[in-house]
Amino acid sequence: MNKGTAIVGFILCFLAGAMLTYGIDRNRGVADIGPESASARGGLDHSASPVPVTKDDPAWGDPDALVTIVEISDFECPFCSRVNPTMKQIKDTYGPKKVRIVWKHNPLPFHKNARGAHEASQTVFAVAGHEAFWKFHDLAFQNQKSLNDANYETWAGQAGADVAKFKAAYSSKKHAAKVDKDLAMAQSIGARGTPHFRINGVTVSGAQPFPKFKEVIDAELKEAEALLKGGTKRAAVYVERTKANHKAAPANPQQQQKAQAPPVDTTVWKAEVFDEDPIQGKKDALVTIVEWSDYQCPFCKRVGPTLKQIKDTYKDDVRIVWKDNALPFHPRAKPAATLAHVARKSGGHDKYFQAHDALFESHPKLEDADLQAVANKLGLNWDTVKKAIDGDTFGKLIAKNMELAQALQARGTPHFFINGRRLSGAQPFDNFKKLIDEELAKAKAMVAKGTPRAQVYATIMKTAKGEDKKDVPPPTKSDPIKGKLNAKVIVHEFSDFQCPYCSKVLPTLDQVKKEYGDKVAIVWHDLPLPFHQDAPLASEAAHEAFAQKGNDGFWAFHDKLFANQKEIKRPALEKIAQEIGLDMTKFKAALDSNKHKAKVDANKAMAQKAGVTGTPGFVIDGNFISGAQPFPAFKAQIDKALAKK
């Protein structure tokens, strides 16, 4: 997907989905998920499996079910939320004798509230059992933006746990070790993103639709039934099938990750090097690695030893250029970056990288007191550093590099360009080596033909690809618009009413309108993604609101859809229509006849022709913004467009 922030996070952005309602009623609740045998409470010891399951794991279904789905998930991950209706469909379709679902914790490091939710849920399980766990699970996903200690206590009580016992165990972190154990297990089998599933050991990665799960489940049911006919006991089926599937899979997690990796980007991108950029290595190095990174990102820290290995291996043939991409959900990244730039200003590139190393050594401790300790270690005046932080002294440089990252679709951190060739994430040394060796050979050939060593990178950049351009036709009166058709700048928004990231970007779009007024107009284009089953009809309903009440009607309907994004099936659409005063006879007739389907399909065709594949996506004066980017990303493109006018 064009989304995303690290690639995992950033492929995930492409799969952006809806946070639907999963209440403790017939939509999702434990009371409705079927019987749970007494043996399920005790569980079976399947620790001999390559994907171990024990009595310490929260589970639904019989412990000797023929198919076990191990769900490795994160309470703060929107994609984990989106897959819950699919899990309910699996339960309803197969029942507890055929399918068991086992929960494993994987709170991702950039989800700051996830860890507490996982420890709390495991505590509820320990205190009150499986049913209480799933009730807590549902409440956490229903209130995904309100994960905090006070709510955990409330939800524990609502789930049926003894609140006093919960508080004592949770506050003492009695069950934190189970979360750590699950994290280690996930790492060992190569499950780095969420949600991640192992179905009798077969990998299904991401919030896939039901047919994808069904395909694997049905195949595993046949294999399991064959084992039963051959004399294998039901209780042994899971271990036998996971061992067989593990043997058939790639030999190790790195090989498995490689097997599932997306196609290699062969484009040479114009990763410009600015005069102020910190650089390690010689100016005439044959290979330039431009690194977009973030001092608060754990993956950026993790890749440090690999970069050192690159420098030790290639010496003067490689230089590394640092560029800041202080991600908006890392509030301490920019202050840390500022300290490093103060160091560069006082002592040059070497001093910068001394600060760089010290900051990652301090990570994740990057509060002011921690930065002051780093400054003292480096001999920097803390008052000078603090003044630079408070005054945003290096804000323009940081913003300039973040804008370039957006233009090159380098949305996650760490993100690298090796002589313009993209490599995303904290990859192992061998992945870097492959690209470096290829580019080194090309560079040596250029030098042999007369290109000076110091001009190799500049020569490559002359023909490299720059900003991602999209050709979108101007809006017409048939398009819902917020603003005037003749506004100086048009923001073309490609969106999906069931996409959580489309919802998250709304405050940013409000800020755009507030900042620019009538200079900017926002035009809506439907792009309901194929795995969002309710989105197409929601788009048609919004267009009927537009047909009846114009732009005001459309945006009123739009706002209510996103405000109630967890439930946008037809009854909810009719309720919204009534609330905003639409003619219900016309509204129902329009939905019955799919009156506005042609308009929605035309918008989808426009997106396809322009090369917009994920939501939300924005085109401003031909320049593309992918995903729910922060306001500065929009401001940079709008200001550029206004300057042309």
**CATH no. for residue 518?**
3.40.30.10
What percent of the chain is modeled with pLDDT above 90? 73
Handedness of CA 231, 236, 242, 244 (dihedral sign): negative
For residue 119, count other CB atoms closer than 10 A to its CB.
Answer: 23
Let me know: does 63 contact 43? Beta carbons within 8 Å: yes
575, containing H or E segment: helix 570-579
User: Do 192 and 50 belong together in one domain?
Assistant: yes
How many angstroms separate the CA atoms of 351 and 344, rounded?
Answer: 6
Q: Band of the pLDDT at 106, cuts 50, 70, 90?
A: very high
DSSP code, position 63: T
Residue 469 lies in a domain: no
Give the range among 92-96, 106-110, 235-239, 431-435 with minimum mean pLDDT.
106-110
Q: Which of 215, 231, 259 is the last residue of a domain?
A: 259
> How many percent of the chain have pLDDT more than 70?
90
Cβ pair 568, 21 in contact under 8 A:
no
Residue 623 lies in a domain: yes
DSSP string, 106-169: ---TT-TTHHHHHHHHHHHHHHH-HHHHHHHHHHHHHTTT--SHHHHHHHHHHHT--HHHHHHH
Q: What token pair was written down for 87?
A: 């899990």
Is residue 268 domain-resident?
no
For residue 319, give its domain range: 279-462
pLDDT on residue 261: 42
Residue 470 resides in a domain: no
pLDDT: which is higher, 4 or 195 = 195
For residues 226-239, give the mean pLDDT: 94
CA neighbor of 36 nearest in space, from 65, 67, 11, 12: 65
Give the H/E segment covering residue 489: strand 489-495
Question: How far apart are alpha carbons 117 and 152 in whole angstroms?
Answer: 7
Same-domain pairing of 411 and 535: no
pLDDT at 365: 94
pLDDT in tens, 483-525: 999 999 999 999 999 998 899 899 999 999 999 999 999 999 9
Dihedral (Cα; 129, 134, 139, 140), 10-degree rounding? 90
Average pLDDT over residues 259-274: 74
Tell me, yes or no, whether 471 lies in a domain.
no
Q: Does residue 10 have a pLDDT over 70?
A: no
Whether residue 534 sits in one domain with residue 617: yes
Q: In what order do the strands lie in the sheet with 202-205?
A: 59-60, 99-105, 67-73, 196-199, 202-205
What gap in Å lies between CA 170 and CA 164, rounded to an integer?
A: 10
- How many independent structural domains does the chain possess? 3
304-308, 466-470, 641-645, range with the lowest pLDDT: 466-470
Alpha carbon distance 42, 54 (integer Å): 9
pLDDT tens for 11-64 read 333 333 323 222 222 222 222 222 233 333 345 789 899 999 999 999 999 999
Listed residue (73, 153, 75) closest to 112, CA to CA: 75
Poorest-confidence range of 125-129, 301-305, 376-380, 402-406? Answer: 402-406
Task: Please name the residue that has the structure tokens 């313009």.
Answer: 420
Q: Look at residue 236 and tell me whether its pLDDT is greater than 60.
A: yes
225/298 same-domain check: no
Which of 7-16, 285-294, 434-443, 529-538 has the least mean pLDDT? Answer: 7-16
pLDDT in tens, 142-175: 999 899 999 999 999 999 999 999 999 999 999 9
Distance CA 645, CA 633 (A): 19
Residue 628 has a pLDDT of 84
Asked if 47 contacts 110 with a C-beta cutoff of 8 angstroms, the reply is no
DSSP labels, 497-553: TT-HHHHHTHHHHHHHHHHHGGGEEEEEEE---TT-TTHHHHHHHHHHHHHHHHHHH
The answer on 295 and 248 residing in a single domain is no
- Considering the domain architecture, whether residues 255 and 284 belong to the same structural domain is answered as no
Question: Do 291 and 251 lie in a common domain?
Answer: no
CA end-to-end span of the chain: 32
Report residue 637 as tokens: 């493109």
Element (H, E) at 624: strand 623-626
Residues 6+ apart with CB under 8 A from 615: 3, 16, 494, 495, 496, 499, 501, 502, 527, 529
252 and 286 both lie in a single domain: no
d(CA 411, CA 614): 14
Each residue's pLDDT tens digit, 589-609:
999 999 999 999 999 999 999
Residue 2 belongs to some domain of the structure: no
Bond prior to 253 in cis (omega within 30° of 0): no
Of 19-28, 238-247, 281-290, 347-356, the poorest mean pLDDT is in 19-28
The residue with tokens 């499986």 is 130
Q: What is the pLDDT of residue 249?
A: 60
**SS3 per-residue string spanning 439-483:** HHHHHHHHHHCCCCHHHHHHHHHHCCECCCECCCCCCCCCCCEEC
Predicted confidence (pLDDT) per residue in 540-590, tens digit: 999 999 999 999 999 999 999 999 888 899 999 999 999 999 999 999 999
Cβ atoms of 300 and 294 within 8 Å: the answer is yes
Beta bridge partners of 520: 489
Q: In the structure encoding, which two tokens stand for residue 397, read together?
A: 């440089």
- 318-371: per-residue pLDDT in tens? 999 999 999 877 899 999 999 999 999 999 999 999 999 999 999 999 999 999
Q: 225 and 128, same structural domain? A: yes
Confidence of residue 4 (pLDDT cuts 50, 70, 90): very low
Q: How many Å apart are CA 357 and CA 359, to the nearest integer? A: 5
Residue 450 sits in the same domain as residue 542? no
pLDDT-derived band of residue 264, with 50, 70 and 90 as boundaries?
low
Taking residue 135's Cβ as centre, other Cβ atoms within 10 Å add up to 23
List, for residues 382-392, the tens digit of each pLDDT value.
999 999 999 99
Residue pair 277/323 in contact by the 8 Å Cβ criterion: yes
Q: How confident is the model at residue 633, as a pLDDT?
A: 82
Any domain includes 3: no
Confidence of residue 482 (pLDDT cuts 50, 70, 90): very high
- Same domain for 500 and 409, yes or no, is no
Distance CA 477, CA 491 (A): 15
Chain mean pLDDT for the chain: 88
Domain membership of residue 476 (yes or no) is no
Domain end marker among 230, 259, 288: 259
Quote the CA–CA distance of 301 and 364 in Å, as a whole number: 9
291 in the same domain as 169: no
Residue 139 to residue 22: CA distance in whole angstroms: 8
